Copies of this chain bind each other. A is one copy, B any other.
Amino acid sequence: MSAMPLPHLPPAVPRMPQELADSPAFLLGRLGALVKSRAIHEFETIGFSPYHYAVLAVLAEAARQTQAEIADTLKVDRSQLVGLLDSLEERGLVERRRDPNDRRRHTVSLTPDGKAQLGRLRAVVKRVADHLLAPLDAEGRQVPYQLLLRVACHTHTSF
């Protein structure tokens, strides 16, 4: 009952439904998942995760933070941060030190090796971003970032 099958296209080529392709929300969701999985894969090949990068980035901007502060900044649970810091500390990239004023707290800081590694991880991020934005020309790349930032700031406060 199928009228006029396409000549040389194999029937197994799955096309995204128009209704979903038309939805900015759907595109954004799928694109976000794609960039995330891509980032995870890229970091994985060198033994890291995007979270590792995020932790190092946070420490580079504000040194000597407590674990609770780091966790809140990244919006991850404190229990999740423990494992991340464990692996970073084992590699000598961060340093946990007891706060003498409140011995419950651990104050975390970046080691020189950690700062160097952060540079390498930044290269990974840049690679992912460049690949992501590849279909856009130079000037076109400025636009989505401004829009993304505006939308991100709004959703950050409204979700």
Kindly state whether residue A81 has any CB partner on chain B within 8 Å: no
A53-B16 Cα distance, complex, nearest whole Å: 14
Q: Which residues of B contact A136 (CB under 8 A)?
A: 147, 150-151
Q: Which of A35-43, A83-91, A109-117 contacts B (4 or more CB under 8 A)?
A: A35-43
Q: Which of A16, A18, A72 has the most CB of B within 10 A?
A: A16
CB contact under 8 A between A148 and B32, given known A14-B72, A16-B73, A17-B73: no
Contacts of A20 in B (CB 8 A): 54, 57
Min C-beta distance of A145 to chain B, whole Å? 5
- Given the complex, which residues of B lie within 8 Å of A19, measured CB to CB? 57, 60-61
Contact of A32 among B28, B50, B60, B128 (CB under 8 A): B28
Hey, which bits of chain A sit against chain B, CB under 8 A? 1, 12, 14-21, 23-39, 50, 54, 57-58, 60-62, 69, 72-73, 75, 101, 125, 128-129, 131-136, 140-141, 143-145, 147-156, 158-159
Given A14-B69, A17-B57, A30-B152, 19 more pairs with CB closer than 8 A: A16-B156, A17-B62, A17-B73, A19-B60, A20-B57, A23-B125, A24-B148, A25-B128, A27-B145, A28-B35, A28-B148, A29-B32, A31-B32, A32-B36, A34-B155, A38-B159, A134-B154, A144-B151, A147-B147
